[in-house]
């Protein structure tokens, strides 16, 4: 089974600064998708960014970008120009054939943004 590990239970960043959240995963598949979801206090899971494993180019969505290292099975999220509204739980998730296309989530990283 695929496992997703987020080694940072909590992170803190100052407004306007940059922060990187780490994620590693274990898989024997070559074709899969990786996602970062944000869960604010409302508890609704919001998709932040996604990465196709077959694409070497790192995905970018405005202030959010990823560093995808397929050989190292690493998928980190960089948030630039952090804003107060970025404060939330961030979950890394894996989706592939062997899991029946179910999302496998990491335990999450709680991000605190300070003024």
Partner 1 sequence: KAGVTQTPRYLIKTRGQQVTLSCSPISGHRSVSWYQQTPGQGLQFLFEYFSETQRNKGNFPGRFSGRQFSNSRSEMNVSTLELGDSALYLCASSLAEGVSGNTIYFGEGSWLTVV
- Report if residue 47 touches partner 1, rule: CB under 8 A: yes
Structure tokens at 61: 């969505």
* Structural contact between residues 5 and 24, judged by C-beta atoms closer than 8 angstroms: yes
Residue 84, helix vs strand vs coil: helix
Q: Is 108 in the site for partner 1 (CB under 8 A)?
A: yes
**Cα distance between residue 101 and residue 79, in whole Å:** 27
In terms of CB distance, is 9 or 115 closer to partner 1? Answer: 9
Judged by CB under 8 A, the chain residues 7 through 36 that form the site for partner 1 are: 31-33, 35
Name the residues that contact partner 1, by CB under 8 A. Answer: 31-33, 35, 37, 42-47, 50, 52, 91, 95-97, 99-108
């Amino acid at each position: 089974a695929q496992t997703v590990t987020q080694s940072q239970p909590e992170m803190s960043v100052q407004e306007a600064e940059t922060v990187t959240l780490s994620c590693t995963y274990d898989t024997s598949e070559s074709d899969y998708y990786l996602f970062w979801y944000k869960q604010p206090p409302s508890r609704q899971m919001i998709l932040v960014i996604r990465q196709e494993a077959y694409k070497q180019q790192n995905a970018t969505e405005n202030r959010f970008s990823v560093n995808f290292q397929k050989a190292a099975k690493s998928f980190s999220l960089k948030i630039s120009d952090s804003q107060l509204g970025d404060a939330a739980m961030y979950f890394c998730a894996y989706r592939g054939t062997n899991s029946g296309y179910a999302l496998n989530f990491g335990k999450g990283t709680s991000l605190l943004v300070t003024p």
